[in-house]
Amino acid sequence: MNKPSLLLLFILIALSGRAQRYTISGYISDKNSRERLINANVYENNTLQGTTANNFGFYSISLPKGEVKITASFIGYSPQTIDIDLQEDITINFEVELKSDQIEEITVTGNRTNKIENTQMSMIDVPVQKLQNIPTILGEADVLKVIQLLPGVQGGTEGTSGIYVRGGGPDQNLFLLDGVPVYNAGHLLGIFSVFNPDALRTVKLYKGAFPARFSGRLSSVVDVSMKDGNMQQLKGDFSIGLISSKLMLEGPIVKDKTSFMISGRRSYADLLAQPIIAAQNKNNQRSKINGLAFFHDFNFKLNHIFSDKSRLYWSLYHGRDKGKVGQAITVRNDKSEVIENLDNQFGLGWGNTISSVRWNYLISPKLFSNTTLTYSKYKFDILSDESYHQYYNNSIKKEFFEYSSGIEDIALKIDFDYFPTPRHAVKFGTSYINHKFSPGVTTFKFSNTADSTASNTTFGNRDVFANELSAYIEDDITISTNLKLNAGFHLSAFFVDGKTYFSPQPRLSARWLLNPDWSVKASYSRMAQHVHLLTMSGIDLPSDLWVPVTKNLAPPTSNQFALGTALKLPHKLDLSVEGFYKDMNNLIEYKEGASFMKNGTDWEKMVELGKGWSYGVEVLLEKTIGKTTGWLGYTWSKTERQFEKINFGRVFPAKYDRRHDLSLVLTHKFSNKFDISGSWVYATGSSATLAFSHIPIGNIPYAWNFGFGENYAYAYESRNNYRMPDFHRLDLGVNFHKQKKRGVRTWNISVYNAYNRNNALLLMWMEEDKDGEMTYGGGSMFNSGTMKLFKATFMPIIPSVSYSFKF
């Protein structure tokens, strides 16, 4: 045979070899609800080649022609296996059944969600189904409170939902609800999060090793997806608790075609507080206090299947918080006649409105697309209204003040999942976001009938518009049996005030499999952020201001390195240990002496640019299978900041720099009727700025008081110089379930802070006089009493009970 013929023969053999692979693709769903199962696994039993379903439950795998045995599996579900004679590209939709009594571990071979095998590190899949079992404050299940119990995550002020991840600040967390950013994730000053657990399907926390599809925040991504809605039958869940009640309904509008999910919550703490306030007012004829605080929120989702290739989702969230406090003082003369009235009312409110429309389209068995249009709005307002009536001259003085701020986004994005070969799973996409920032407008009105003066002024920062374009690509590559890589690149361009910022963000994760039960992982991520949150460093408040980067303030960036190991231990335990180092640049902080209330001037002039870094080690030992489940998490970390013009350029600890953090969470299921749970947390104190002495500051040459003796000032040695007392708390809970005719009812009894630990919320100086009487405040240089430091606790032991019914 001559050479050209040989060459042709080889080409034909090669082509015929390539043509002998066909693609099996489809969706993996829950058999009962038809909910798509995110990250479910599909693998070929003989070769163990496998793939993972995407965020919409879609999978695609290319296999050799011939007899194949395909299995779909997902944690908590019975696997489903199908034998196929593969002769062409085919579609197979799996419907797996939830196995509620999972005691024995289900061996999931080739399971990419398996922590050992995944390249993904620094990511935790929050067990949404178990949220109700983990005791939290007032018996209200809360996903962010559970996230606070994970290693690498610090909680903010006690009882609030703020999270500080690997040394990052509160604005460095990207909260996504069905792909839409949520700018303020807290109700009631953060006591509850905006995420109603009844409406949730999955929650993933990324602390590092960020896949290239994520960008926009430096420290974490909390990716929350709502339930799609049961395609088969009407289901629901309502609960009544001490602080709020909620209702969730889901079901088909057209069976197997269109479904809905709707849920709502409303708190009534304001109603419960009224008797306490009334009792306080009863004994005080001069001064009457009033107050209220409540929230409500609403989730809605519509899900419609056009065809096997096309599906539409519409998600909507709206939530609002409102708080008000006031005082009315009446002054009387000796004849009990009213001579003065002072009425002081203060209120604040905030809320998010979020909507997204997503369209899935299967372009080919190997190429899946998702197009999303989103809207997100956050608004905060604060109001103060004071009137002062003096009867002797019938004068009335009034002062009204209102401040509002917010942010509004409209975005369009398109994402693709491409499965060219079993060794590659490629994701790529692009997006456009239009931002509108309203960094604060103040209205002030004043009138005084005594001298006929009046004024009405509105001032503040102008609205700022910005546009953001981004594109990414990532590939999950199986190099060999032992080595897998996830390599990606994200590029974003931010246009604001005539300035363009390009942010290239490479990402790389690698996994080396030592044996089926043990792997070593490493990762590098560069992240960029184009928004800042101006926050008062002492308190997490909804008044925290979202502002964009500007031509004068470049985007914050971070570089994070992580190295870790994951292994399976005996007794169904999983252990992961990770070390990380993260540096952050272009962080902003209020200048010394500046405050968010001073928004008459350009806010840019009120902030300083600086840097930060954090490093630490995290250990997570968890058990997810069996009657007893839970985890033990420990973190050792250190977080510091440095700003040239703050603290005189000296390095200082970040506000929530806690050296040690330990969480133990356990649940035990005795039977279908009864289970108990508990969590114990311990953390060394966060930092605060306190002065412990006064110092004279006199003798300044040519000062106005030179030669007239010394003035005195507080001697703060440095910012965040003091460590708050250690924090620890035990929460316990028990659930009693009973199967009823139409569903399951559950009584939950829980105790927050079971041994009544007085963890510090605030620190304050109080003065004790020689008679032992204590007075708040003081700290004056010239006090005659003894100053003592006190901690105020907001969260003593709090028992709670709630009733829920699931049908």
Partner 1 sequence: MKIKFILIIKLLLIITACVDEIKLKEDYTSKKLVVSSFITNGENIVVNLYQNKPINSKYEPALKTKAKIVLYENGNEKETLKPMVRYSNSYDYENQTQITDSTYMYTSEQTEIKNGNTYKIVVECEGYETVTAETTVPFPVPVNAFDSLTVHKESHGSKYTEYDYKLSFTDKAEDINYYRLIVLEASAKKSFLKLGSDTIDYIDMNLFSSSTYINSTDPLLTNENKDANSYLFGELDNSYGIFTDDMINGESYEIKFTANFQYYSSNEMDYEAGEFRKVNLVLQSLNADMFYYLRSIDAQEYSDYMMFTEPVPIYSNVENGFGVFAAYASSEIEIIYGEYPKEGVKYFTWSDIQQLYEDYNNK
List the interface residues with partner 1, window 321-380 (CB under 8 A): 325-327, 344, 346
Q: Is 590 in the site for partner 1 (CB under 8 A)?
A: yes
Of 388-396, 546-554, 600-608, 614-622, the window that binds partner 1 (rule: CB under 8 A) is 600-608
Site for partner 1 in 429-448 (CB under 8 A): 442, 444
Contacts of 276 (CB under 8 A, 6+ apart): none
- Nearest partner of 179 among 313, 374, 311, judged by Cα: 374
Pairing type for strands 722-723 and 66-73 reads: unpaired
Q: Is 698 in the site for partner 1 (CB under 8 A)?
A: yes
Residue number, 268 or 790, with CB nearest to partner 1: 790
Q: What distance in Å separates the CA atoms of residue 166 and residue 788, rounded to the nearest whole number? A: 34
Residue number, 570 or 701, with CB nearest to partner 1: 701
Residue number, 285 or 595, with CB nearest to partner 1: 595
Q: Is 47 in the site for partner 1 (CB under 8 A)?
A: no
Min dist. Cβ of residue 463 to partner 1 (A): 19
- Determine how many CB atoms are found less than 10 A away from the CB of residue 683: 22
Residue number, 155 or 347, with CB nearest to partner 1: 347
Min dist. Cβ of residue 699 to partner 1 (A): 5
Among 621, 691, 744, 749, binds partner 1 (CB under 8 A): 691
Residue number, 549 or 607, with CB nearest to partner 1: 607
Site for partner 1 in 634-653 (CB under 8 A): 647-648
Q: What distance in Å separates the CA atoms of residue 419 and residue 428, rounded to the nearest whole number? A: 11
Q: Is 240 in the site for partner 1 (CB under 8 A)?
A: no
DSSP 321-336: EEEEEEEEEEEE-TT-
Q: Is 609 in the site for partner 1 (CB under 8 A)?
A: no
- Determine how many CB atoms are found less than 10 A away from the CB of residue 487: 16
Q: Is 710 in the site for partner 1 (CB under 8 A)?
A: yes
Site for partner 1 in 57-116 (CB under 8 A): none
Of 57-65, 367-375, 742-750, 754-762, the window that binds partner 1 (rule: CB under 8 A) is 754-762
Q: Across-strand partners of 490?
A: 472, 505
Min dist. Cβ of residue 795 to partner 1 (A): 8
Among 102, 258, 384, 448, binds partner 1 (CB under 8 A): 384
The helix (H) or strand (E) run that includes residue 67 is strand 66-73
Among 601, 628, 739, 775, binds partner 1 (CB under 8 A): 601
Tell me how far CA of residue 60 lies from CA of 38, 92, 486, in angstroms: 13, 10, 18
Q: Is 277 in the site for partner 1 (CB under 8 A)?
A: yes
Q: What distance in Å separates the CA atoms of residue 186 and residue 297, rounded to the nearest whole number? A: 11
3-state DSSP call for residue 402? strand
Among 147, 212, 473, 606, binds partner 1 (CB under 8 A): 606
Q: Is 536 in the site for partner 1 (CB under 8 A)?
A: yes
Of 212-220, 365-373, 635-643, 712-720, the window that binds partner 1 (rule: CB under 8 A) is 712-720
Site for partner 1 in 395-414 (CB under 8 A): 401
Q: What token pair was written down for 162?
A: 């703020």
- Residues 418 and 476 sit within 8 Å (Cβ to Cβ): no
When computed from its CA atoms, the radius of gyration of the chain, rounded to whole angstroms, is: 30
- Nearest partner of 625 among 265, 49, 114, judged by Cα: 114
Of 164-172, 178-186, 566-574, 599-607, the window that binds partner 1 (rule: CB under 8 A) is 599-607
Among 765, 802, 804, 806, binds partner 1 (CB under 8 A): 765
Among 310, 457, 500, 515, binds partner 1 (CB under 8 A): 457
Query: For partner 1, how many residues bind (rule: CB under 8 A)?
Result: 88
Min dist. Cβ of residue 254 to partner 1 (A): 50
- Nearest partner of 157 among 535, 596, 538, judged by Cα: 538
First to last CA, the chain: 75
Q: What distance in Å separates the CA atoms of residue 607 and residue 550, rounded to the nearest whole number? A: 12
Q: Is 671 in the site for partner 1 (CB under 8 A)?
A: no
Min dist. Cβ of residue 544 to partner 1 (A): 11
Site for partner 1 in 775-804 (CB under 8 A): 779, 781-784, 786-796
3-state DSSP call for residue 700? coil
Q: What distance in Å separates the CA atoms of residue 447 and residue 455, rounded to the nearest whole number? A: 6
- Residues 302 and 258 sit within 8 Å (Cβ to Cβ): yes
Q: What distance in Å separates the CA atoms of residue 186 and residue 163, rounded to the nearest whole number? A: 11
Contacts of 462 (CB under 8 A, 6+ apart): none
Site string for partner 1, 463-502 (x = CB under 8 A): ----------------------------------------
Residue number, 444 or 489, with CB nearest to partner 1: 444
Residue number, 367 or 539, with CB nearest to partner 1: 539
- Nearest partner of 607 among 622, 588, 625, judged by Cα: 588
Among 695, 747, 755, 801, binds partner 1 (CB under 8 A): 695
Q: What token pair was written down for 590?
A: 């209020």
Min dist. Cβ of residue 589 to partner 1 (A): 8
Q: What distance in Å separates the CA atoms of residue 124 and residue 610, rounded to the nearest whole number? A: 30
Q: What distance in Å separates the CA atoms of residue 352 and residue 374, rounded to the nearest whole number? A: 13
